[in-house]
Amino acid sequence: MKKTLLATLMLSMFAASAYADDSIKIAISGPFSGGSAPMGTSMRDGAKLAIAEINAAGGIKIGAKKMKLEAVERDDEGKNERGALVAQELASMDGLSGVIGTVNTGIALSGDKHLQEKGITKIITPAAGSASMTQWSKAGVKDLSIFRFAAHDGIQAAMVVDQAIKSKFTKVAILFDATNYGVSGRDDLIDQIKKQGNKLEVVATEKFNIGDKDMTSQLLRAKAGGAQAILIWGIGPELAAVANGLAKNGMKIPMIGGWTLSMSNFIDNAGKNGDGALMPQTFIEEAITPKAQSFIEGYHKAYNVTRIPSPVSAAQGYDAVYIFAAAVKQAQSADTTKIKDALEDLKEPVSGVIATWKHPFSKWNPANVETHEAFRSSDTVMGMVSDGHVVFANQADRERLKKHAAK
Amino acid sequence: MNMQIIAQMVVSGALMGSVYALIAYGFQLTYATSKSINFGQGELVMLSAFFSLTLLNIGVPYWLMVPGGLLFGAALGLLVERAGVRLALQQKSEGWILLTIILGLLGFSSAENIWGRDDRPFPTPISSDALHVFGINITPLEISVAIGVFAIMGLVELFKRKTLLGKAFEAVSADRDAAELMGISATRTIMVSYGLSGMVAAMAGILISPITTVGPTMASALILKAFAVAVVAGLDSGFGVVLIGIVLGALESLTSFYVGSGWREAPGLVLLILALAVRPNGVFGKATIRKV
């Protein structure tokens, strides 16, 4: 028994090292458990779908050899301290070509410095908090190996405020959770309200903690101030508690907030109380293009589900892998620094499920974080929760995206 | 409008407070007989909630799930007593502190491995559509929590006063040595108190799950509040626990409304410090005379 075990172990070690030679190692890290898990697992599964497709087509051709992609998965549990440990481990991993992932802004803040120190190329997706990129511009970093592939909160907050103004609201309440994501979302909202001409009066700015279930006091303060809408930044379970609290207190006002309002644990726990919630989305689970159709069907089939837990995360994870693969191909190397240089100047457009990405990133400039941000507001649409699904809030967006893809 | 808001805040807060009280009551039960408490009480709440959810998922009807969950809780309580408390008490050591914490951690990891780390909704036949009573919004679900809390506490108190085993319970609480001289087995009584405490924890789990969802960390915030309630009220008084629990819950709501939602946790901590400074035995606690 012992001998066979030893033999198997040795064999597997041998196999692993043999495998590593002609494979490109990408780490996928994110919360695969806990309150942010729908985003983490969808991102991971979307990314793995893309990896499987690329490998099925033979891999990436580097020189004369075709190299396959190999995924290394790490669960950061959505906790900052755990995320820092994962980043440290990845930073010192042998032969790692890059990292894709991170859902929680706090983890980008606690962990990415370890990757940046070693110059490991990372594409952040789907963490949206502004701080995960602005931390580098504030520090004046000259050469950055961290990229982001998500509609950052600056874009999202602008859309949320715009939506509130368009709906002719004048008084709003801002609710946010006490995490890095929530707090930076609140700052973005206040900032955007100023930028868009102070047309909204903030009658209440209320905080809640992860795990809070009773939102009565926060909502009553909003009610007492006469709020016509709740602008909110948080994650699934607490967003659901807010939706349920609104219903309980007989407040029929809409929730408009970050893209997290599309998380399955919001939609499931809020039930019918979640209907009508509005949020920016980069991808809606509706087969409006052939590419989207094959992606959605592929995902449903591969993971045996009828609804993607977080379609945005899945689509972004999927496209991020294709962009990364394009950079590997252009660099003709598995070396992380060469891949970074290629990412900053992608020559060929990459056809993804969200859009066709033409030159998504450019050479890092600390004065302009958009150099390492792939998304602009034109890549983003308003989604709305309706009967357990996220749909297009405006038909115009649906048509626009259709045309966009046809081009 | 203003009075209405205050009333609404007090009612919502008091409802959460009654849950704190119920968990604190679980501490109080075991402390009365054995002067020990289960530091893994929160895990008992969580494990029983998961077990009850599993019962529901395999098709057990709601009314049958409740006694099933309670029995499971009681069994867990007995297990904690046997594995973590009995030996330590026999040796008159404080080992039960560490042992109950360890058993709690064990329960936590087991739950993570058996049921996963996600928060899951807990289906309930009780409606969560708001009713309007005197301008206050309250859901039948919340009313059911209050009724459940008082029902189980009432039953336990009735048991303590009306049955022989219950009287033994009271006797051991009053004076363990004297009770043993009267032929009451203290060991057995302590066992009963841990069983009851586990049952109370299970009840708390079943009652709050539809509101909080079920997950491994569901009770971690509650247990701290419950502990504060138990310390402030004093570990001798069941009635005091209820009163302090409700007051703390209402105070939290009012603070977060009038001072700001960031200050929600403050009143509990201030009360805790005040109680420890002014009345270390608790507001309703009996002063102990330490014989030197």
In this complex, do A220 and B129 lie within 8 Å of one another by their Cβ atoms?
A: no
A-contacting residues of B 11-30, CB under 8 Å?
Answer: 12-13, 16
Q: Is residue A3 part of a domain?
A: no
How many domains is chain A partitioned into structurally? 2
Query: Which residue bears the tokens 């301008």?
Result: B135
Q: ω before A126 within 30° of 0 (cis)?
A: yes
Q: Is residue B291 part of a domain?
A: no
Per-residue pLDDT, A2: 57
Same domain for A202 and A109, yes or no, is no
Same domain for A216 and A315, yes or no, is no
Residue B252's CATH number: 1.10.3470
How many domains is chain B partitioned into structurally? 1
Residues A152/A375, Cβ–Cβ less than 8 Å? yes
Residues B15/B79, Cβ–Cβ less than 8 Å? no
Q: Which of A220, A235, A242 to mutate to test the interface with B (most CBs of B within 10 A)?
A: A220
In this complex, do A33 and B116 lie within 8 Å of one another by their Cβ atoms?
A: yes
Per-residue pLDDT, B68: 94
- Least confident span in A21-35, A242-256, A270-284, B241-255: A21-35
Looking at every residue in chain A, the average pLDDT score rounds to 87
**For residue A269, what are the domain limits?**
154-281+382-406
Q: What is the mean pLDDT of residues A166-194?
A: 91
Per-residue pLDDT, B224: 87
Per-residue pLDDT, A301: 92
Q: Is residue B143 part of a domain?
A: yes
How crowded is residue A159: how many other Cβ atoms within 10 Å of its Cβ? 23
Same domain for A43 and A145, yes or no, is yes
Q: Is A359 on the interface with B (CB under 8 A)?
A: no
Same domain for A392 and A270, yes or no, is yes
Q: Is residue B70 part of a domain?
A: yes
Same domain for A168 and A270, yes or no, is yes
Q: Is A220 on the interface with B (CB under 8 A)?
A: yes
Q: Which residues have a Cβ under 8 Å from the Cβ of A374 and sit 6 or more positions away?
A: A147, A148, A149, A150, A323, A357, A360, A361
Per-residue pLDDT, A317: 94
Q: Is B9 on the interface with A (CB under 8 A)?
A: yes
Same domain for A192 and A136, yes or no, is no
Per-residue pLDDT, A229: 93
Q: Which of B117, B126, B131, B138 to mutate to test the interface with A (most CBs of A within 10 A)?
A: B117
d(CA B150, CA A177): 33
Q: What is the mean pLDDT of residues A185-199?
A: 90
Q: Is B3 on the interface with A (CB under 8 A)?
A: no
Residue of B nearest to A236 (CA): B119
Instruction: Dump pLDDT digits (tens) for B188-203.
Output: 889 999 999 999 999 9
Instruction: Compute CA distances B141 → A251, A397, B61, B124, whole Å.
Output: 18, 40, 18, 9
Q: Is B5 on the interface with A (CB under 8 A)?
A: yes
> pTM higher than 0.95, yes or no?
no
- The residues facing B57 across adjacent strands are none
In this complex, do A213 and B117 lie within 8 Å of one another by their Cβ atoms?
A: no
Same domain for A98 and A141, yes or no, is yes
Burial class (CB in 10 A: 0-12, 13-18, 19+), B59: exposed
Report which listed range, A41-50, A329-338, A377-386, is most confident: A41-50
Answer yes or no: is pLDDT of A21 > 80.
Answer: no
Per-residue pLDDT, B290: 60
Q: Which helix (H) or strand (E) holds A321?
A: helix A311-331
Report which listed range, A83-97, B206-220, B272-286, is most confident: A83-97
Burial class (CB in 10 A: 0-12, 13-18, 19+), B14: buried
Q: Is residue A7 part of a domain?
A: no
Same domain for A271 and A400, yes or no, is yes
Same domain for A86 and A210, yes or no, is no
d(CA A25, CA A96): 5
Q: Is residue A366 part of a domain?
A: yes
Q: What is the mean pLDDT of residues A374-381?
A: 85
Residues A209/A235, Cβ–Cβ less than 8 Å? no
Q: Which two tokens stand for residue A97?
A: 């070509």
Q: What is the mean pLDDT of residues A283-303?
A: 89
Answer yes or no: is pLDDT of A1 > 60.
Answer: no
Same domain for A268 and A321, yes or no, is no
In this complex, do B261 and A218 lie within 8 Å of one another by their Cβ atoms?
A: yes
ipTM attached to this prediction: 0.74
Q: Is A72 on the interface with B (CB under 8 A)?
A: no
Looking at every residue in chain B, the average pLDDT score rounds to 87
Query: Which residue bears the tokens 């102990």?
Result: B288
Instruction: Compute CA distances B91 → B40, B80, B88, B285, whole Å.
Output: 21, 17, 5, 27
Per-residue pLDDT, A251: 87
Q: Which two tokens stand for residue A209?
A: 């903690």
Q: Is residue B124 part of a domain?
A: no
**For residue B80, what are the domain limits?**
2-119+131-278
Per-residue pLDDT, A4: 61
d(CA B44, CA B101): 11
- Least confident span in A403-407, B17-21, B220-224, B259-263: A403-407
Per-residue pLDDT, B1: 54
Burial code (b: 16+ CB inside 10 Å, e: under 16) for A99-116 equals: bbbbbbbbbbbbbbbbbb
Residue A172's CATH number: 3.40.50.2300
Per-residue pLDDT, B276: 86
Q: What is the mean pLDDT of residues A308-326?
A: 92
Q: What is the mean pLDDT of residues A222-246?
A: 90
Q: Is residue B19 part of a domain?
A: yes
Q: What is the mean pLDDT of residues A340-368?
A: 88
Interchain CB contacts (distance < 8 Å): A and B: 76
Residue A18's pLDDT band, with cuts at 50, 70 and 90, is very low
Instruction: Compute CA distances B210 → A40, A80, A249, A385, B141, whole Å.
Output: 25, 29, 18, 22, 8
Q: Is residue B182 part of a domain?
A: yes
Residues of chain A with Cβ-Cβ distance to B212 below 8 Å are 213
Q: Is A237 on the interface with B (CB under 8 A)?
A: yes
Q: Which of B118, B258, B265 to mutate to test the interface with A (most CBs of A within 10 A)?
A: B118
Same domain for A111 and A173, yes or no, is no
Same domain for A140 and A195, yes or no, is no
Angle between helices B2-34 and B164-174 (to 10 degrees): 80
